[in-house]
Structures are given as C-alpha cells and as structure tokens.
Amino acid sequence: MILGLMTLGVSLQIWTSAVDCYVAHLMIELKGERSKERLHAVDQLADLGALAKKAVPSLLMTLDDPTAAGADRACLALEMIGADAVPELSKALDSKNDVRKSKILTILGNIGSDARAAAPMIRKALESEDVITRLDAAKCMSRIDPTDKDATRVLVQMLKQKERTRRFRAACALSRMKHDGEQAIPVLLEAIQTEYENNIDREYQLHEGWIALYRVAGNASKFAKDLESIYSSYGDKEEQGGILLVSSCAISKIDGANKQAMDRVKAGYAELAKYARSNDESWARFGFEVLQSMDLKNPEAAAVARDLIHDTLQSRHSLVRTLSRSLQRKLSGND
C-alpha cells in the first residue's frame, strides 16, 4: 500500500510538472505575432481553468490584445481560473485606463462570490470620478455581494442619470441586491416599453428588463395588470426573440393567479432550457431558476430538466455547474 501511495505521489508530481510546462508554453504563445496562435493559447488556458493560474499576469496583458476576440477570450480565461486569479485582478484595478478597469470589474463580477477578496479595491472604484467606472463597480459588487450597502447606494443614485442606458444598467444590477430592488421597477417598466433603433439592443434590453423584473417579483405585484398589458402589446418580433416566454415567466411569478401566464411558461419548457445553456450569466441563472420553480413531477418538465443536467454538469462555467447540481438535487427529490 505504501509503495502504491509513493507511486501515486510521483505520478502526480510528473503530471503537475507536465501541466506547468504546458502552461509556460502557452504563455509564450500569448506573446506571438499571429492572432490565431494567441487565440489558441487563450482557449487552452481557459480549458485548464485553475491549473493555469501561473498565466494570470500574461492573460492580464492579453486584455489589451489588438483583436477584440483575443481580449474577450482572455476575459473568459481569467473567469475560468476563478478565485486564483482574484489577487492579481484586484491589483490591476489600480489601472488608470478606464476601459481596462471596466473589463477587470466585469471579470470579477462574473467570478462571483469567490471574488470577495477584491471587495476593498472594488469599493474604491465605487468612489471613482468616472461615472462609468462607478456603475461598473456597483454592477460587479451586485454579483459578488448582493448585501453591499455601498454598491446599493451607488446604483440608486445611478437611477437618476439622464442617459437611458446607464439608468437601465443600474436598474438591472439593483434588481440583484437584497435591498431597495423595488426602486429599479419604474426604470425597468420604461425599458420594456421603449422602442430601440437597433434590433440587437432592443432584444437584449427587453430580455434583461424582464429578467430583472423576475428577480424583483416580490415588490412588483401592484404592476401586474400593467405588465400583462405590455405583454399583450408585443408581436411577432418578441415571439421570435423569446421575449414572450421571458415576460410570461416574470408575470407568472409576480401574479401567481395569472393562469394564462403560467400556461405560457409550461408550453415553453424546452425554450427555457436554451436560456439555462446560455453563456450569459443572467440568462443562464434565469433559465435554471424558472425550471426549478416548476412542478418537476410533470413528465415534460422532468424530461427537459434531465437533458439540461446531462448537458451542463460538466460545463466550463462554474456557475452553470452549480445551478445544474442544484436542479439535479431537486429533480432527485421528485423522482
């Protein structure tokens, strides 16, 4: 037995050494002149996750990659490394470059509660003279610590911004907070009724607006009739974009007596699973939360849940894996 343990220990040392060598090789690739080579290195480091923690300084430099794809994938790789990347990310918030600082705050927010060690530096950013930095810092804290009073204060202030997009982003973040979420509702109501010139912006803001209303459902009951009326005003564009389903989910949670909304949700189980598979954190969480709130004794809902769990238990995203395990536990309790 002792010999077996010694052999296992040696094997682990060899394996760790091999991984370290591979990470070192990928760090060299990150400095390459060819964008294809850099993208390959970033993707491989993302797949390694926490095993690639030695590459964090190199990935931070890649946030300034001349190609948008390189910078975006570097963000994802740092998110995949997770908690081990937080100390370096926290130091990097001292950057004078507001664009770079915004990317880092987004990464920390997507890491979530594992990024709590960066809270002092994020709170420092909450006091920035730059309004976008303050908003990004507050959004970041809404994902890391939904009870943070400083972030809540900044988000409430941001609801008074003249610029509509800033108000909307602040309202969506405020909907995640444990306190004062109801103050976001008027801005969210404005957003889901607004006409947008760009169809992509329109679809995204309608999705985000209804998902935020789903989160603050407990404070939105007095708006139930208004929300059903807004739903009734939607047409083909909203149906194709999945917005009719998202709005029905919010309405059925806000108004439990609305049988029509609940029936619409039940008819969209498979569509909800698409949200849960999304790379967007808000949409993924929303999809899982709605499915968990359903009656999983229903054969159709249970079948969708099983397929979703099968596809997401090994997801690259730690949040999705966590949500998948939670859904699995509930499903097991209903079997």
Instruction: State the Cα–Cα distance between residues 29 and 45, nearest whole angstrom.
Output: 11
Phi, psi of 288 (to 5 degrees): -65, -45
Task: Please give the structure tokens belonging to residue 188.
Answer: 């969210």
Whether 322 is covered by a domain: the verdict is no
In a domain, 60, yes or no: yes
pTM metric for this prediction? 0.83
Domain of 120, CATH number, reads 1.25.10.10
Cβ(64)–Cβ(100) under 8 Å? yes
Task: Give pLDDT, residue 11.
Answer: 59
Q: How many CB atoms lie within 10 A of CB 120?
A: 10
pLDDT computed for residue 8 by the predictor:
47
Examine residue 95 and state whether it is found in any structural domain, yes or no. yes
Q: How distant, in Å, are the alpha carbons of 135, 258, 292, 310 from that of 174?
A: 11, 26, 23, 33
Residue 182 has what pLDDT? 93
Alpha carbons within 13 angstroms on the beta-carbon side of residue 92 total 26
* Structural domain contains residue 107: yes
pLDDT in tens, the chain (335 residues): 554 545 545 455 666 678 889 999 899 998 888 888 988 999 889 888 889 999 999 999 999 888 888 888 899 899 989 999 999 999 999 988 889 999 999 999 989 999 999 999 999 999 999 999 999 999 999 999 999 999 999 999 999 999 999 999 999 999 999 999 999 999 999 999 877 766 767 888 898 999 999 999 999 999 999 999 999 988 877 777 788 999 999 999 999 899 999 999 988 888 888 888 887 777 888 888 888 888 888 888 889 899 999 998 888 777 788 888 888 988 887 55
H or E stretch at 25: helix 2-30
Residue 148 C-alpha from the chain's centroid: 18
Helix (H) or strand (E) holding 293: helix 281-293
Residue 167 lies inside a defined structural domain of this protein: no
What are 234's two structure tokens?
């939607």
Distance between CA atoms of 142 and 152, rounded to whole angstroms? 8
Contacts of 323 (CB under 8 A, 6+ apart): 276, 284, 285, 288, 312
259 in a domain, yes or no?
no
**pLDDT for residue 92:** 95
Residue 306 C-beta-side C-alpha neighbours within 13 Å: 11
Tokens of 17: 């050494």
Is 89 a domain residue? yes
Q: What is the pLDDT of residue 168?
A: 94
Which domain covers residue 89, as residue numbers? 55-141
Tell me what pLDDT residue 282 has.
Answer: 79
Provide the token pair at 117: 């060690």
Total domains present in the chain: 1
Residue 77, in any domain of the structure:
yes
